[in-house]
Amino acid sequence: MDKVIVAKDLSLSYSNNEVIINKVNFSIDSGSFVFITGASGSGKSTLLKSLFGALSFKHGSLVVGGVELNNISGKKLNFLRRHLGIVFQDYKLVREWSIDKNIMLPLLINGYMKNVANAQVDKLLKHVRLNHQSGKYPYELSGGEQQRVAMARALAHNPIIILADEPTGNLDEYSSQLIWNLLEGANNQLKTTVIVVTHNIPKNLNVTYRHLHIEYGSVHEIC
């Protein structure tokens, strides 16, 4: 199976030189579903940030989707990010844009025609059960609904990897279940690699997953 992420002797630290992740080695197969867990402050979100190039590093090598992230140029990073779908705990929706425009963002960046993008947005709004909210702004929706919009945006351009940072951290049970279903669906039907940082792995998942645990700067394989 193709490796979609390969980390070799990867060390991550913040600007104060405090080492968060220390010389870790791991790889992730294409089409797999991976959970990254760990205590608060263990570095799981830091590791996820490094996967989409939001954190530069000095030591080791990290290849995501065939692109080496060490000393990556802005142009190459943009190219890589166009093939990723990212979901954040705080949704990161553009407040002054309608939810339709938010979902359309990766489509327009990837050069989709406006009419194709519009049709895709309609499809996605139905998929995340928000078609009745079309045209509304993020602040008019509940937290769970906003996270579904963020999920729709992450899925819009059929990314090769979905990176989710505690996607259900602030949500109620119903909204959380919807988010897990969407992530399962992407993995099962589209064979998208899904990497989720979370505190709690849901029990009723219909996917075979891999569990990586971060502790004291090292990555341990749990299952």
Partner 1 sequence: MKSVRNHLSLVIALVSILFSLQLYFVVERSIDAYKKNLSNNYSVIAVSKESLATEDIKAMNKLIANVAELSPDNVIKRLNSDMKNTNIELLKLSLPKFYKLSLAYYPTPKEIKELREDLLKSKSITKIEDFSHSHDTVYKLLLLFKNVVSLFALVVLVVTVLLIFKELRIWQYKHNERMTIMALFGAPLWLRSAVLFRLAIVDALIASFVTLGSFVYLSSSPWILEQFNNIGINVIVFDILNDFLMILGVSVSISILLASLIVIGHKEEV
Q: What is the 3-state secondary structure (H, E, C) of the chain?
A: CCEEEEEEEEEEECCCCCEEEEEEEEEEECCCEEEEEECCCCCHHHHHHHHCCCCCCCEEEEEECCEECCCCCHHHHHHHHCCEEEECCCCCCCCCCCHHHHHHHHHHHCCCCHHHHHHHHHHHHHHCCCHHHCCCCHHHCCHHHHHHHHHHHHHCCCCCEEEEECCCCCCCHHHHHHHHHHHHHHHHHHCCEEEEECCCCCCCCCCCEEEEEEECCEEEECC
Q: Is residue 78 part of the contact set for partner 1 (CB under 8 A)?
A: yes
Residues 42-61 within binding reach of partner 1 (CB under 8 A): 49, 52, 54
User: Given the complex with partner 1, which of 95 and 132 has the nearer CB atom?
Assistant: 95
* Number of residues located near partner 1, criterion CB under 8 A: 26
Residues 136-175 within binding reach of partner 1 (CB under 8 A): 153
Q: Is residue 41 part of the contact set for partner 1 (CB under 8 A)?
A: no
Q: Is residue 65 part of the contact set for partner 1 (CB under 8 A)?
A: no
Q: Is residue 113 part of the contact set for partner 1 (CB under 8 A)?
A: no
Least gap, CB of 181 to partner 1 (angstroms) = 23
Q: Which amino acid is at 180?
A: W
User: Given the complex with partner 1, which of 96 and 221 has the nearer CB atom?
Assistant: 96
User: Given the complex with partner 1, which of 75 and 203 has the nearer CB atom?
Assistant: 75
User: Given the complex with partner 1, which of 79 and 216 has the nearer CB atom?
Assistant: 79
Q: Is residue 81 part of the contact set for partner 1 (CB under 8 A)?
A: yes
Q: Give the residues lining the site for partner 1 (CB under 8 A).
A: 49, 52, 54, 74-75, 77-84, 86, 88, 92-97, 105-106, 109-110, 153
